[in-house]
Amino acid sequence: MLAREVTKVHQEFIRGTATELFNRLSDPRGEFTIIVGPAINVHEENGLSVSDDEVVREFWRLTESGLVSRREAVRLVAQGSGRSSRDVYSVIERTKKLG
Q: Which residue ranges make up each domain of the chain?
A: 1-37, 38-99
Residue 93 CB burial class (10 angstroms; 0-12, 13-18, ≥19) = exposed
> What tens-digit pLDDT sequence spans the chain (99 residues)?
788 888 887 788 787 777 888 888 878 888 888 888 765 544 444 444 678 888 999 899 888 888 789 999 999 898 888 889 999 999 999 988 886
Per-residue pLDDT, 19 = 82
What class is the 38-99 domain?
Answer: mainly alpha
- pTM of the full predicted structure? 0.51
85 contacts 59 by C-beta, under 8 angstroms = no
> CA–CA distance from 38 to each of 31, 35, 78, 95 (Å)?
23, 10, 16, 27
Contact between 4 and 30 under an 8 Å Cβ cutoff? The reply is yes
Q: Which residues contact 69 (CB under 8 A, 6 or more apart)?
A: 63
> Nearest CA to 11 among 71, 67, 61, 72?
67
